[in-house]
Structure 1
Amino acid sequence: MSSDNLFKLARAAGVASMIGVAGLLSSCQVRPLYAENTGVTQKLADVSFSDAGTRVGQVVRNQLIFIAGRGAGEAKTPKYTVDLSVSSGTGGVIYLPSSDTSGAGRTTVTASFTLKNAGDGKVLKSGNRSVTSLVDFPTQEFAKARAIRDSEDRAAREVAELVGADIAAALSR
């Protein structure tokens, strides 16, 4: 085979592969989760969240209300309800042998949720999400308590983002 024929064959193969890739990409169904034409934004605005039992649970709940309502607050007449259960804990991970205390730790916030249709109580989605936030423990007790609280707040906001994304994905179907 001459080099001219090889060049023509390679060019034809390149054109054919470009057409094939274009065909595959045209059938792609990827779209933004919060796109206006999907209706997810309106469905999220119709979600109500259960009351929280702890301070960290309230941070998660408040963040979810903000995410769902886009800052407008809670739904007046919800079409969907979310039963939310939040737990948190902080533990030390680096122990200082000289003082038998911990110099750093991690806070874990776990949220369990169940998304239901408010009309018939049908479960649309349930799941668990967990986020870990690292924290340094200062030597002063008040500073240590505040560092733990800040760590809980960071993890709570992150877990709310994950739960909110799960709820949006379930409502987009």
Structure 2
Amino acid sequence: MLLSDGTVLSRLVKTLAGIALAGALAGCQVRPLYSASSDTDGKLASIAISEAGDRIEQQVRNDLVFLFSGNGAEAQNAVYHLEMDVTSKTVGVMNDVKTDTARSGRVTVTADYNLTRADSGETVVSGKRSAVAMMDFPTQEFGKVRSVRDAENRGARELAELIRADVAAALARR
């Protein structure tokens, strides 16, 4: 008679569904996407970065040193070593039909990187990232040179942030 009206059965089903849902959600972890724990911050501060070969690679390296340490100081007792190879390419994207000269362009800054443990040489994370910065080409030559340099700096800063996010995610899993 209790099951004939369905109230006890529906309560039982709802209770079992609630328990199953709670069990499924118990394995989930919720963490902020871009924040790092103090443990991860300590690991980031203990990364030594390879020497730069050119101006753009030096810009990426400087930005990474600041992002890893938070104060611009390089790691003294490095636990990890980050090896980078940074390249840059500048192309015009809109040509003026009358003069056949580029009016705007883009700079693509690309890095191949490999983070290893300093003591064992074990690879923690490696990858390839790119950042694109758009620019205008003014008619003055100095303005054009300065526009390209500013775009390279913006691309290098964005690339450093992408690499930092990859490295922080890898170190947070360790």
Asked whether the two chains share a fold, i.e. TM above 0.5, the reply is yes
Q: Secondary structure of the residue that 1:73 maps to in structure 2? A: coil
Q: TM-score, normalised by structure 1?
A: 0.86
Give the whole-Å Cα distance in 1 for the aligned partners of 2:120 and 2:27: 36
Superposed CA deviations along residues 40-93 of structure 1, whole A, max 9, x for unmatched, are 111111000001111111110011101111114101110100111110011101
CA gap 1:7/1:49 in 2 versus in 1, 3 angstroms: same
- Match of residue 36 from structure 2: 34
- Match of residue 105 from structure 1: 105
Superposed CA deviations along residues 99-141 of structure 1, whole A, max 9, x for unmatched, are 1101111100001111011111111111110011111111111
- Match of residue 150 from structure 2: 150
Give the whole-Å Cα distance in 1 for the aligned partners of 2:126 and 2:24: 33
Aligned residues: 167
Q: TM-score, normalised by structure 2?
A: 0.85
Q: How does 1:119-138 map to 2 (within 5 A)?
A: 119-138=119-138
Paired letter, 1:155 = G
CA gap 1:7/1:158 in 2 versus in 1, 3 angstroms: farther
Q: Secondary structure of the residue that 1:29 maps to in structure 2? A: coil
- Match of residue 87 from structure 2: 87
CA gap 1:153/1:13 in 2 versus in 1, 3 angstroms: farther
Q: Secondary structure of the residue that 2:112 maps to in structure 1? A: strand
Q: Secondary structure of the residue that 1:120 maps to in structure 2? A: coil
Give 1:27 shift.
Answer: 2.1
Structure 1, unaligned stretches of length 5 or more? Answer: none
Give 1:31 shift.
Answer: 2.1
CA gap 1:46/1:101 in 2 versus in 1, 3 angstroms: same
- Match of residue 49 from structure 1: 49
Structure 2, unaligned stretches of length 5 or more? Answer: none
Q: Percent identity at matched positions?
A: 44
Give the whole-Å Cα distance in 1 for the aligned partners of 2:98 and 2:81: 51
